[in-house]
Amino acid sequence: MSSDKQKKVGIPYLLTLIVIIILVSLSVLYARFQNIFSLNKIIVSGNYELTEEEVIYIAGLTLGEDLLSIPVLEITERLEREPYIRQAMVYKRLPDRLVIQIRERTPILLMNMEKLYSVDNQGILLPAPRNNRDIPVLTGIPSLVVTEFGSTVLHPQIRQGVGIMSLIRKKYPEINILVEELHWDEKDHSWILKPGNGRTRIYVGNSDLKRKINILEAFIEQHELTHGTIFV
C-alpha cells in the first residue's frame, strides 16, 4: 500500500520535471532563433606583446557566431599553443559576450643569431618582441640547438644566462635596466655583465653565481659604474 502511495506522489514531480525541461529547451531554441546568443563582443585582457586583434585571430573567433556552440576548451588549447601565451582562460558571459584572459610570457634576454630571438625565464624560445627596450642581449653563444618557437632551449650557457638574468631581475630591478649585454666569454669560461654607455664591465665568472649576484649591489655601490672593470 505504501509503495502505491509513493508511486502516486512521485508521478506529479516527474511530470513537473519533464515540463520544466521542455520549457527550458523551447526557451533556448527561441533565443537562438532570435539571435539572442549571438556573439557580439569579445573581451581580451592580460595581453601586452600580442594585440587584441591577434589574440582574437589566434582564437579563431568571429563576431556573430552562436555563443552557445563555441568550444571554450578547444579555444583555450589553441591559444596556449601560441608561444607568447603562457596561460589562457576563456569563458562565456551570457547572453552575447566571450571573455579571454591570458598570461603572457615575458622575454628576459634577446639573442641575435642570424635572426633575433628572445627567451623567457623558463628558457622558452620566443620571437623577438616588438619593443626591445630594457631587454639585455645575450652574446658569445655561437648557435641555437632548438629554433622552434615555444620549445625549451637546452643550450647549457643559454639556460645559465637565463638563470643569471632571472636572479638579477628579481633582486635588483634597477640594475637589470642598466645591464645592456650579458656576454659569455668562451675563452675564459666566464660571464660578463656589460652596462650601457661604455660603463664598467662586471666579471662574475662561472661558479658560485647565486652568491655573487646576491652581493652584486654592494660591489656596484663600492665601485661606481664608470669606465673600468669589476671582478665579483
For 201-217, the pLDDT digits (tens) are 888 888 888 888 877 76
Q: Are residues 50 and 79 in the same domain?
A: yes
| Residue count of the chain | 232
Q: What is the DSSP secondary structure assignment for residue 196, as one 8-state letter?
A: S
State pTM to two decimals.
0.76
In terms of residue numbers, what domain contains 213?
107-231
Q: Are residues 127 and 205 in the same domain?
A: yes
Cell numbers linked to 55:
589574440
**Residue 193: burial class (beta carbons within 10 Å; 0-12, 13-18, 19+):** buried
Q: Are residues 58 and 123 in the same domain?
A: no
Residue 164 has pLDDT above 70, yes or no: yes
Quote the pLDDT of residue 70: 95
**Mean pLDDT within 110-116:** 86
Inside any domain, residue 216: yes
If one counts the domains in the chain, the total is 2
% of the chain beyond a pLDDT of 70? 77
Q: Are residues 191 and 209 in the same domain?
A: yes
Inside any domain, residue 131: yes
Q: Are residues 204 and 137 in the same domain?
A: yes
Q: Are residues 152 and 182 in the same domain?
A: yes
Domain final residue pick, 79, 104, 129? 104
Domain final residue pick, 88, 104, 120? 104
Inside any domain, residue 20: no
CATH of residue 96's domain is 3.10.20.310
Peptide bond into 136 cis (omega under 30): no
Q: Are residues 162 and 205 in the same domain?
A: yes
Quote the pLDDT of residue 100: 98
Closest by Cα among 232, 91, 228, 105 to 172: 232
Quote the pLDDT of residue 18: 76
Q: CA 156, CA 153: separation in Å to the nearest integer?
A: 8
pLDDT tens digits, 32-77: 545 678 899 999 999 999 999 999 999 999 999 999 899 999 999 9
Q: Are residues 114 and 176 in the same domain?
A: yes
DSSP 3-state of 134: coil
Q: How far are the Cα atoms of 31, 158, 181 from residue 112, in angstroms, in the given order?
A: 55, 12, 12
Amino acid in the structure at residue 195: P
Domain final residue pick, 86, 104, 122? 104
Quote the pLDDT of residue 208: 87
Q: CA 221, CA 210: separation in Å to the nearest integer?
A: 18
Among the ranges 6-15, 191-200, 206-215, which has the highest mean pLDDT value?
206-215
Quote the pLDDT of residue 228: 60
DSSP 3-state of 62: coil
Instruction: Count CA atoms within 13 Å of residue 177 on its CB side.
Output: 2
Inside any domain, residue 31: no
CATH of residue 208's domain is 3.40.50
